């Protein structure tokens, strides 16, 4: 019956949120013979997977810790949390894109200078790229005030597409008005089909891809318009280097020897077989942990914290909803016996239960035995004002929600969602890693449907607008061959890429780029251009694209490397098989 002994026993039975540490108003300390540790748990008001929010939060934390290290030069700091991994991954991606992008652009410009032997053409290309990209970015900012960093990463694929149109324009102009007139219909057809493909991204629910669709569509329309309207006003450019022309002429002759009546049949068989193998062996893994790599120093700090503090919860939590704080806390009490769980209910009782305890204490201290006991202890009776005090751990477990309050039950052991039955609107099992991974799975499915839809839509459009062929049968044959090359390029790239790592959303984004490039190559091959002129531009643009974006396959960020691998393999396959497409008549 001793209240003090009962209270002491109750305190001893409470779960230790910070094992071995003493609480000091939100900070936790632990001392030994040689060291003194201070544990600082942070609650971040924001999305840890948001690049902008994580960057701002990490900057604020770093500014604070830098002041601490100035005052205490001998202190050692260790950080752990999803926030730091997210920020490190974003910075690594930006750094690699700057390095790879700058290096590949220098290689591309050097190659263009060697082929065209003209600084004027090089300046025109850079000016066109700058104006088109600025226009696309301006429209994207007008429609979306916060562009995603990965949108800017994948928007660099615009360089490869835009340079293709400029290369085709220069080569056609260098071969006279007839070649230029033959190029313009193919240029508009290839460009507008590509723009249509990017416009379809607006139908997907992922803001990243919607922003990418807006940027690419606006920038490509601007680039095509500038090429068609301004290129004829420039002085007639020099023809490509003689060695380059001779190489492309030899390749044209070689493909003519390879082409025969059965070309369409075995090209179709290869495309369908590769697609069948891809479907049969398809493996995907959308776990967000596989999309970024963390610095070794950060992983070491995290392991050190886990080993020295024994403070580590599973990513899984149980969310208990209530209209008020007390209702959420009372509903949490139903889970009090769940093994390995920690909630605010373990530290403080709901008001209804507290009231019973308070009434019992009041009756005890008003009784004769209670008054004598307090007098023997030499203390006064405690004051009961009826207002429950806010527990210092409340911010760790209770959060305001849209329609009331949310009580969080943290879990210290591996948890299976089948262990407890979820109650819609009241109880929910939540894992942030699984939640983000499920979202990526949904977006990947959307991208796969987009790829299939563009393949299906391309066939009738090409059959309708490929006017370079004499008969309807030849137009359908050319359109089918272009579709086969598109299918073969994308399916082969995905088939080989999954040997390196399971497929994810960023493989599909790379496949999107390969698909639109394959449309361009196919249209230019099936158009009225002379085949050796078309190959001069296709090979040059394919090589520059492979250099520029194939370099991304060496990135230490798996998401960016996935994009680079797909583009490298897919563009190579497209440039390899596009010359097999039926040639248009010379007349």
For 145-191, the pLDDT digits (tens) are 677 766 776 677 777 778 788 888 888 888 888 888 888 888 888 88
Per-residue CA distances from 494 to 256, 282, 291, 292, 303 (Å): 29, 9, 17, 20, 36
Assign 3-class secondary structure to 530-560: CHHHHHHHHHHHHHHHHHHHHHHHHCCCHHH
- In this structure, is residue 122 part of a structural domain? yes
User: Looking at the structure, do residues 128 and 36 belong to the same domain, yes or no?
Assistant: no
pLDDT tens-place string over residues 278-301 = 999 998 988 877 776 778 888 888
In-domain check, residue 145: yes
Q: Report the pLDDT value the prediction gives residue 587, as an integer from 0 to 100.
A: 42
- The verdict on 131 and 235 lying in the same domain is yes
Token readout for 288 is 């967000």
**pLDDT, position 277:** 94
User: Are 139 and 234 found together in one domain?
Assistant: yes
**Range in 102-111, 228-237, 427-436, 551-560 with the lowest mean pLDDT:** 102-111
Q: Which of 465-474, 522-531, 576-585 has the lowest mean pLDDT?
A: 465-474
Q: Is residue 210 part of a domain?
A: yes
**Is 469's pLDDT higher than 60?**
no
* 249 is a domain residue: no
Q: How many domains does the chain have?
A: 2
Q: Could you tell me how many residues make up the chain?
A: 587
Tens digit of each residue's pLDDT (9 = 90 or more) over 390-401: 777 787 788 888
Q: What is the pLDDT of residue 3?
A: 66
Do 130 and 25 fall within a single domain? no
Most confident of 134-148, 346-360, 487-501, 545-559: 487-501
| Same domain as 221, residue 133 | yes
* pLDDT tens-digit series, residues 18-54: 767 887 777 888 888 888 888 888 877 766 666 677 7
Residue 518 has pLDDT above 50, yes or no: yes
Q: Where are any strands of DSSP class E within 412-503?
A: 427-430
Residue 466 lies in a domain: no
Structural domain boundaries, residue 33: 1-41
Q: Is residue 350 part of a domain?
A: no
Specify the pLDDT at position 32.
81
31 and 131 share one domain: no
Inform me whether the pLDDT recorded for 205 exceeds 80: no
Is the pLDDT at 103 greater than 60, yes or no? yes
12 or 473: which carries more pLDDT confidence? 473
In-domain check, residue 393: no
Whether the pLDDT of residue 483 is over 90: the answer is yes
Per-residue pLDDT band at 222 (split at 50, 70, 90) = very high
Is residue 122 domain-shared with residue 235, that is, in the same domain? Answer: yes
pLDDT of 58 strictly over 70: yes
pLDDT band with cut points at 50, 70 and 90 for residue 327:
confident
Q: Are 439 and 555 in contact (CB under 8 A)?
A: no
Q: Residue 122 and residue 125: Cα distance in Å, rounded?
A: 5
Average pLDDT along the chain: 82
- pLDDT band (50, 70, 90) for residue 335: confident
Residue 234 is assigned to a structural domain of this protein: yes
The predicted structure's pLDDT at residue 489: 95
Find the DSSP H helices in 231-261.
Answer: 242-258
132 and 217, same structural domain? yes
């Amino acid at each position: 019956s001793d209240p003090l002994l009962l209270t002491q026993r109750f305190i001893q039975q409470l779960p230790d949120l910070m094992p071995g540490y003493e609480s000091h108003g939100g900070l936790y300390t632990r001392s030994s013979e040689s060291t003194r540790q201070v544990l600082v748990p942070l609650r971040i008001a924001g999305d840890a997977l948001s690049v902008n929010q994580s960057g701002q939060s990490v900057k604020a934390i770093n500014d604070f810790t830098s002041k601490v290290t100035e005052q205490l030069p001998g202190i050692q700091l260790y950080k752990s949390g999803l926030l730091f991994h997210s920020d490190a991954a974003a910075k690594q991606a930006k750094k690699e894109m700057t390095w790879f992008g700058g290096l590949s652009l220098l290689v591309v410009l050097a190659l263009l200078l060697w082929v065209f032997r003209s600084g004027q053409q090089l300046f025109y290309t850079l000016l066109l790229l700058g104006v088109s990209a600025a226009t696309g970015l301006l429209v994207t900012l007008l429609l979306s005030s916060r562009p995603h960093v990965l949108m800017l990463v994948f928007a660099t694929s615009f360089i490869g597409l835009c340079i293709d149109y400029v290369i085709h324009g220069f080569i056609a102009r260098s071969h006279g008005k007839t070649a230029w007139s033959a190029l313009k219909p193919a240029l508009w057809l290839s460009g507008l089909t590509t723009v249509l493909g990017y416009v379809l991204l607006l139908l997907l629910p992922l803001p990243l891809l919607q922003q990418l669709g807006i940027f690419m569509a606006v920038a490509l329309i601007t680039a095509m318009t500038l090429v068609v309207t301004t290129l004829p006003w420039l002085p007639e450019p020099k023809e490509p280097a003689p060695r380059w022309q001779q190489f492309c002429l030899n390749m044209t002759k070689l493909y003519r020897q390879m082409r025969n009546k059965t070309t369409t049949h075995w090209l179709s068989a290869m495309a369908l077989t590769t697609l069948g193998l891809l479907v049969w062996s398809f493996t995907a893994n959308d776990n967000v942990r596989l999309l970024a790599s963390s610095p070794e120093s950060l992983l070491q700090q995290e392991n050190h914290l886990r080993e020295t503090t024994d403070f580590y919860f599973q990513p899984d939590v149980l969310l208990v909803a209530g209209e008020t704080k007390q209702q959420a806390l009372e509903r949490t009490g139903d889970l009090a016996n769940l093994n390995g769980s920690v909630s605010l209910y373990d530290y403080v009782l709901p008001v209804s239960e507290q009231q019973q305890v308070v009434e019992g204490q009041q009756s005890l201290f008003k009784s004769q035995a209670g008054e004598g006991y307090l007098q023997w202890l030499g203390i006064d009776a405690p004051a009961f004002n009826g207002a429950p005090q806010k527990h210092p751990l409340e911010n760790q477990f209770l959060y305001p929600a849209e329609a009331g309050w949310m009580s969080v039950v943290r879990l210290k052991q591996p948890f299976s969602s089948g262990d407890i039955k979820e109650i819609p609107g009241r109880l929910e099992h939540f894992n942030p890693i699984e939640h983000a991974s499920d979202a990526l799975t949904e977006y990947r499915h959307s991208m796969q449907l987009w790829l299939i839809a563009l393949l299906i839509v391309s066939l009738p459009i090409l059959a309708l607008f490929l006017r370079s062929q004499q008969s309807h049968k030849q137009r359908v044959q050319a359109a089918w061959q272009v579709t086969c090359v598109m299918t073969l390029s994308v399916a082969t790239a995905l088939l080989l890429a999954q040997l390196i790592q399971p497929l994810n959303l960023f493989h599909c984004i790379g496949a999107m780029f390969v698909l639109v490039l394959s449309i361009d190559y196919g249209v230019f091959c099936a158009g009225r251009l002379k085949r050796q002129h078309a190959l001069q531009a296709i090979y040059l643009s394919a090589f520059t694209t492979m250099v520029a974006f194939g370099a991304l396959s060496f990135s230490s960020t798996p998401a960016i490397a996935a994009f680079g691998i797909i583009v490298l393999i897919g563009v190579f396959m497209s440039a390899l098989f596009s010359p097999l497409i039926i040639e248009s008549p010379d007349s």
